[in-house]
Chain A
Amino acid sequence: MILEVKNLHKIYNSGTHALKGVSISVEAGEFLVIIGLSGSGKSTLLRCINRLIEPTSGKVKFLGKDITHIKGEELRKVKSQIGMVFQQFNLIKRRSVLTNVITGKLGSLSTFNSIIEKFDKEVINEALNNLETVGISEKAKERADSLSGGQQQRVAIARSLMQNPKLLLADEPVASLDPATSNSVMHYFEKINKDFGTTVICNLHFLSLVRRYATRVIALKAGEIIYEGLPHEIDETWFKTIYGEEAEEVEIR
């Protein structure tokens, strides 16, 4: 088991109770997709897993080790083993694609060398390789904000690959992309999952993508898990339970 989340609660300072006792276990190599309405707590869950935010109570175990309360150097070590991709790509806009990819390696570079931006040949080659993996090595020298959304997201994926992650978290990675681009970006997640054996946990909105890529699905509603199972088991009834009576499925290919 690569990840174990036990009875996790998150209460924001504003008083919002975003997670209400969530428990999940993830086996190595899974492609786990989390679905749920806007505001159901999907992003909060991912951020609690790699401790971008502090869970209020409960436990997170990564590779058999309790990481809920670790701090400082130890926490950074764990973070460097967990990759993360965001809906808004979150690249450094004014810097080159290559520099952006290299930032994925910061956890294992010395502070001084990273500030004067002196990177080893190996690191640079690794970055170029990872750009190759997501198919945009020819853009290495360009400024990150000159790329299209889909290309930026691939740069973000390459950045997370620099961490050689055991676990890759993706928070609605295709929510701001058009359907065709969505599919191609999702394709790279599948490739990383299959080729490198990286475990992927991904928040998604479109059921057609879920059915195509997920090996297992969890549905959140108001901070609680209301469904857990295989993607093709989500039928009309489940769909309405998860997304509400009003919802209707839209097809995207």
Chain B
Amino acid sequence: MSAELSSPTPLAQTAAQALAGVSPEPGVAKPDPIIVADDVVRRFGGMTAVDVRHLEVQRGAITALIGPNGAGKTTLFNLLTGFDKPNSGNWEFNGRRLNGVSAGRVARAGMVRTFQLTKALSRLTVLQNMQLGATKQPGEGFFTSLVKPLWAAREQEITTQAEELLVRFKLDAKSDDFAGSLSGGQRKLLEMARALMAKPELVMLDEPMAGVNPALTQSLLGHIQTVRDEGTTVLFVEHDMQMVRRIADWVVVMAEGKIVAEGPPSAVMENPAVVDAYLGAHHDTDLGDESVMAEGVLEQLEAEEATE
């Protein structure tokens, strides 16, 4: 809609170009994957929440992970980032095996995630929340923390970086307020900004747009593209198909724990397997904006319904 978003940046073009030759089928290999996962299975009791045969995430691109509620998106995030343990399976990040590695180590390796249910650190100020996201602060060691000159310079850098990000995310006015006093949407913004403090190689956002007002969503989409253009790979979960269509270079669709489709946004939205996943299984599911689905698909769907 807005001009800045519809005109693709050169990097967007490269990301899109890199993925241009990739055939849109589940588990397809990518030219330059940052994540390669194989046979990742997570069961809760008798229920299989995640069962991913093969998944690759292209470096430098924005990949959207979509799927109906309970598809296993968050569980997959938890597994990849070390917050949950799989029943089986293994995966690599940057060629390094990361299964069985603790959540803290995963983040230090350059893979930082946010949470679907926001985790703002309430009784820390917004600025402190941001500062905590930074890496390589020697003052976070017990003994070095006792000698301020050892960490004051780095703290200054961190603070500057934090303030810049806060301006970008329109939270600079709240800098000295407790994070607990922020609104739900502001917390989402803070959490995303905080994740970026570490300058991660891959940032994984679990529904970053949920609860953020439409005007801000515009700029948030812009931020996500900027992040990609600055060289960070983005993997995000989102239910709003319009958002996905607008910024994603690649879309991965999950349903009932499995990856059922992959491809560029436009192709995926027309994929019958996706429509099935969303509408076939749950005919009463509200997809929000109907115009999201290609009109042909909807007609086809209505025709199906009529014949039933």
Do A and B belong to a common assembly? no
Chain A residues near B (Cβ < 8 Å): none
